[in-house]
Structure 1
Amino acid sequence: MRTPLRSMLSVPGNSDRFIGKARDVRADALAFDLEDSVAAVDKESARATVARTLSEFPAAGRELWVRPNALDSGLLEADLEAVVVPGLDGIHLPKADDVATLVQADHYLTYLERVRGLLPGSVRLMAWIESAAGLAHVEEICRASPRLDGVSLGSEDFTASLGVQRTRDGGELAYARARIANAAAAAGLSSLDGPEADFRDIELFLSQAELARSVGLGGKFCIHPGQVDAANRVFAPTDRERAWARRVTSVFEAAGEGAGAIAVDGAMVDRPVYLRALRLLSR
């Protein structure tokens, strides 16, 4: 499993001002948006802006993604035609309700990589799970394409598909979060929790991020730069967790492969605990 992204910041693709502000944001990834934040009349110009941005934007260790319009919008092909250029790390595909959607997007990307001389498979995919149908197929979706890198929960669209309201405690997302986290882990993929619309309420963002992490999601999608530091903090191991992991790995490795279970700080540690400690340190 790849090291998960702790934070991905949405950047409206039609706004030079927001793109400029994103230059100094320390998100693990930026997602230049052509979908929800861009009005229909601005779609074409946004494509050109994002394509130009990808060619000159200072990645500075961050991954650069694009969220295009959904396949059923009729705009996906033109979006990919515009933005599959050097500098693009991945496509964050919305409305990934079934395997066929991922397969078709994969075909488009394979063709564009070939005709533009890009390394085959270099443009990765991340699938937005945004409906009850998408969640029902999430295990199959997670294995739909070798270029699939992760899955994200689209909280607002998902709850709309269920006909329920978002609540402050997030109970309506508990099943979706756990199922997406499990499906992603089983397939060796990363996973992102969905956004929090009230970007001023950092306490709410933190509480929901903690819930997401507790069930195995690896990071959070952010809609405002002010949320990024909170996401990075929640989804990074704490000093105490790192110290525990170092003790576990040190003692377990010193005991040798034939030791079986050993005691560390008064608790029994066997190979699954050792592997969990290794995974934590890899983050």
Structure 2
Amino acid sequence: MNNIYLMRSLMFVPAHNTKLLESAVKRNADVLLLDIEDSVPYTKKQKSRDNIKEFAKRTDLNGKLLFPRVNDRESGELLKDIYQLTIEGISGFMYPKATKGEDIYFFGKLLETIEYEKGLPIGTFKIIPLIETAGAVINIREICCSCTRVIAVAFGCEDYVTDLQGKHDPEGQSIMMARNLISIGARSCGVLPIDTVHIKVHDLEDLERNLILSKKLGFEGMLVLNPKELPLVHQYYSPTEEELVWAKEMLRLSEEAQQEGKGVAVKDNKFIGPPMVKMAWNILRKQELIELRGVIQ
């Protein structure tokens, strides 16, 4: 079940930079994406792995999930990444440049082989594919449904726009279709959709506009580049007081309707039906996860 994961914010941290790793411990991100890929020079790849091995032992992470972003299948570094980092403290891996379902199937089988060899329960390590190409957007549902390890899927807009040979625009029109398809494809497979980074990291007003749209599109969380974005990101991907009141009221009215033998009803001028009840449960479940994070912290 993917609704057991709290993924409002997934913050990138270059794993070769010990100063940034230390700083990340103090931040409130739900997930730390410990990067071994794009932000790490080739000569620092092994240093990044070594840093992550030590980082995963820390006892002050306060419930943060650790997902290293590994190198891609063609890099020659992937096997070293996952063989060394399939360790306690690591929840799974972000897999970059996924283009079709068989990429993720292959990666899942690779993890299964390593788990078997190390005597770990099969399925221990989860996968977050990163959607960065036009082909990946077209194949989004195939990617999401290719392996039961996939718990979320994230959008990488910079590589996508480059592959598309498109152009960023202030209104975000060039990425709107991709955002829609990724959210729809992910939800259709029971996978959490994670929105792209906000590239104007110092423009918090623009971030807020994007978050309002992102939530309307059905995204569960967002990739984060700068810690200053975290308060707004958490605000918009957390249930509001109004939503919590609505959810509790909806469940109360649903229970009354069931006692009256009605599956669908209008009570207190509110339409009560299965979709509303399901939405109410989703809101309250997310609030439970947020409160659990608070207890851990």
Task: Compute the TM-score of the two structures, normalised by the length of structure 1.
Answer: 0.95
1:228 CA drift (Å): 1.5
2-side partners of 1:251 and 1:173: how far apart?
A: 40
Where does 1:101-112 land on structure 2 (aligned, <5 Å)?
101-112=103-114
Letter in 1 for 2:284: L
Cα distance change of structure 1 residues 36 and 238 upon mapping to structure 2, 3 Å threshold: same
Contact in 1 for aligned 2:253/2:272 (Cα 8 Å): no
SS at match of 1:72: coil
Match of 1:92 in 2: 94
Contact kept in structure 1, 2:161 and 2:168, CA below 8 Å: yes
Partner of 2:14: 12
> Does residue 147 of the first structure (1) align with residue 144 of the second (2)?
no
Alignment of 1:194-233 (within 5 A): 194-233=196-235
- 2: distance between equivalents of 1:103 and 1:255? 45
| Structure 2: 5+ residue stretches without partners | 287-297
Alpha-carbon offset, residue 116 of structure 1 = 2.1
Contact preservation (8 Å) 1:96, 1:134: yes
Residues 250, 280 of structure 2: 8 Å contact kept: yes
2:43 is paired with a residue whose SS is helix
1: CA distance, partners of 2:253 / 2:279: 14
Cα distance per residue 1:201-220 (max 9 Å; x no partner) = 11122211221111111100
Alignment correspondent of 1:278: 281
For 1:149 and 1:86, the matched residues in 2 are separated by 19
Of 245, 248, 251 in structure 2, the residue corresponding to residue 246 of structure 1 is 248
Cα deviation for residue 264 of structure 1 reads 4.5
Tell me: CA distance 1:267–1:48, structure 2 relative to 1, closer, same or farther (3 Å). same
2:199 and 2:84 mapped to 1: Cα distance?
A: 29
Moved over 3 A (4+): none
In 2, Cα distance between equivalents of 1:71 and 1:55: 27
Once the two structures are overlaid, the 10-residue window that deviates more, 19-28 or 268-277, is 268-277
Offset at 1:82?
A: 2.0
Residue of structure 2 in register with 1:2 after alignment: 2
Per-residue CA distance 1:197-247 (angstroms, 9 max, x = gap): 222111122211221111111100101111112111111111111111111
Deviation at 1:265, TM superposition (A): 4.9
Q: Distance in 2 between matches of 1:58 and 1:37?
A: 25
CA distance in structure 2 between the partners assigned to 1:213 and 1:225 by the alignment: 20
Distance 2:47 2:281 in 1: 46
Partner of 2:29: 27
Q: 1:259 aligns to what SS in structure 2?
A: coil
The TM-score, its normalising length taken from structure 2, stands at 0.91
Q: CA deviation at 1:58?
A: 2.9
Name the CA distance, whole Å, in 1 between partners of 2:268 and 2:219.
28
Q: How far is 1:77 from its partner? A: 1.1
Greater Cα shift, 50-59 or 227-236: 50-59
Amino acid of the structure 1 residue aligned with 2:271: M
Q: Distance in 2 between matches of 1:151 and 1:240?
A: 28
Following the alignment from structure 1 to structure 2, what is the Cα–Cα distance between the partners of residues 210 and 160? 25
In structure 1, the gaps of 5 or more residues are none
On the 8 A contact 2:257/2:264 being kept in 1, the answer is: no
What is the CA deviation profile of residues 261-282 of structure 1, one whole-angstrom value per residue up to 9, with x for unaligned ones?
Answer: 3235533222211211111221
- Structure 2 CA distance for aligned equivalents of residues 39 and 264 of structure 1: 61
CA contact (8 A) 1:86 1:118 kept: no
Percent identity over the alignment is: 25
Say if 1:196 and 1:222, in contact at 8 Å, map to a contact too: yes
Secondary structure at the aligned position of 1:48 is classed as: helix
The aligned counterpart of 1:259 is 262
User: Aligned partners of 2:228, 2:115: CA distance in 1, in Å?
Assistant: 35
What is the letter of the counterpart of residue 177 of structure 2? Answer: Y
CA contact (8 A) 1:169 1:208 kept: no
1:156 matched to which residue of 2? Answer: 158
SS at match of 2:29: coil
Amino acid at match of 2:201: F
How far off is 1:118 after superposition? Answer: 2.1
Match of 1:50 in 2: 52
Counterpart of 2:132, as a letter, is: E
